[in-house]
Amino acid sequence: MNFTHADILAAQREISQRHLADYFRLMWPQVEPVMPYSPNWHLDAICEHLEAVTAGHITRLLINVPPGFTKSLTCSVAWQTWEWGPKNMPSLRYLCTSFGEGPIKRDTRKARDLMLSPWYQQLWPHVKLTRTAETSFANTRTGTREGVPFPSLTSQRGDRLIIDDPHSTETAESDAERQNTVRRFREGAMNRLNDQMKSAIVVIMQRLHANDVSGEILARHTGFEHLCIPMEYEHGSNKTTSIGWVDPRTVDGELLDPKRFPPEAVTELKQMGEYAYHGQYQQRPTSREGGLFKRAWFDGKIKAERPKGGKCCRAWDFAGTVKKTGNKPDWTAGLRMWRIGTDYWVDHVTRFQESPGVVMGTVKTYAQTDPFYTTIRLPQDPGQAGKAQAENYIKELAGRSVKVLPVTGDKETRARPCAVQAEAGNIYLVEGEWNAAFLDEVCTFPMGAHDDQVDALSDAFNELALGYGYTLDNV
């Protein structure tokens, strides 16, 4: 059967009207003629929730998604052109904002040029633009789009308020700038609507700080639907949204889009540090200043070398699973600490993800290279398997001072005595390549993805500070 040009246009018009995701796929070559369209379920998820806004089922929507996943093109370009065209809602007025003029101009131009394109005009000729400025435009049906930087979000109103990355990666780290942005959202953004009950606010952003705009929304504004899509799946973190959507992934560590960001690319991203990665890509930030441990407590506490003498302990924390394709196991961590007077010095940390045989060999190697009088503290997991493992280590480390003690109590309670001494300025680090990863983990505890180094730190400190064979059972 030969299809005429009119047949093709009619089919595209019908397909586009059904779902935003279908329209997005057809629209793609018009805005990205060089880059091929790469479908993925996260685009469908964002589109489904924006459709629910169009239908009036959601009026407040927060979307957290990593950078590089087409969030602005979906939310700040496709959605408006879909509502004006395929959904025949050209009277809607959009107020679009971001942290600066760059993203505003970029997305305004893309939406404007798309609606002026021959493809769009053939399909939806009722959308006629009468004003086409760099940051705003209007149509003949009273619909408008006004783009303003977030700090200038005053004296404007809309049926749709789209807040696309209100923080920049630089200003989110400044307490004053970040707090100003949150205050503007709280005091100025919430009343920028034409109809307070029916008009919609959509916030789409990557997380940059525990107290960013998303943090404000999650803490105070219960009327927001929250769609959170991390780079790596974390079991138990996904919640079903009001439209019945749930993250389709089921394996811990499963990637959001392996074609766009394969495992090696994600590994490279993690070089930015645990704090930045878990905020921007996992959407689970903690304050850079720290949780139980504050980063400021370690300022000036990293020294080129430690004083001589003292008592020494090497504490180990063992990973429960071996690293395989598709999983995200914990690390095996070994931390050496010295007690010198009333001060405590961490002078070496190692961590790795290997098989039990390699772990055993590594523990033996450090037992031979650490000072002979070093106390080796190992955790004993509950059950017969844990007991058998403990007996095996004692046998292999014969001749050394080895303590295998049950793991008791919650992690925060075990870490608190060490945190008290860190706050008092009594914890020091010896300068080494392990410092950055160690501080990233310690200062995101207990909200970080890993706590293996923290567990080793707690056990080493408790052994040196609180006496022979200390566990929480002794308290």
- Residue 72 burial (CB count, 10 A): 20
Q: For residue 321, is pLDDT > 80?
A: no
Beta strands in 56-153 (DSSP E): 60-64, 93-98, 129-132, 136-139, 144-149
Structural domain boundaries of the chain? 5-280, 295-474
Distance (Å, rounded) from C-alpha 173 to C-alpha 162?
A: 23
Q: For all residues of the chain together, what is the average pLDDT?
A: 90
Lay out the sheet containing 343-352: strands in order across: 302-303, 427-430, 343-352, 332-340, 311-317, 375-380, 401-406
Q: Give Rg (Cα) of the chain.
A: 28
User: 258-270 pLDDT, tens per residue?
Assistant: 999 999 999 999 8
Q: For residue 287, is pLDDT > 70?
A: no
In terms of Cβ atoms closer than 10 Å to its own Cβ (0-12, 13-18, 19+), residue 186 is: middle
Q: Are strands 311-317 and 332-340 parallel, antiparallel or unpaired?
A: antiparallel
The answer to whether the bond into 125 is cis (omega within 30° of 0) is no
Q: Amino acid identity, residue 146?
A: E
Beta strands in 150-242 (DSSP E): 160-164, 200-205, 225-228
User: 390-438 pLDDT, tens per residue?
Assistant: 889 999 999 899 999 887 777 888 899 999 999 999 999 999 999 988 9
User: pLDDT > 90: what percent of the chain?
Assistant: 69
Query: Tokens in use for 207?
Result: 């997380």
Architecture of domain 295-474: 2-Layer Sandwich (3.30)
Distance (Å, rounded) from C-alpha 407 to C-alpha 292?
A: 20
Q: For residue 472, is pLDDT > 60?
A: no
pTM: 0.70
Pick among 3.40.50.620, 2.40.128.20, 3.40.50.300, 3.40.50.10440: CATH of 5-280: 3.40.50.300
> Tell me, what's the pLDDT at 411?
87
Q: For residue 22, is pLDDT > 80?
A: yes
Confirm whether 5-280 and 295-474 share one CATH topology.
no
> Mean pLDDT across the stretch 5-22?
95
Give the three-class secondary structure for 201.
strand
Instruction: Name the residue among 39, 41, 80, 45 with its Cα closest to residue 63.
Output: 45
Q: With DSSP H G I counted as helix, E B as strand and the rest as coil, what are the percentages for the chain, rounded to 5?
A: 40, 20, 40
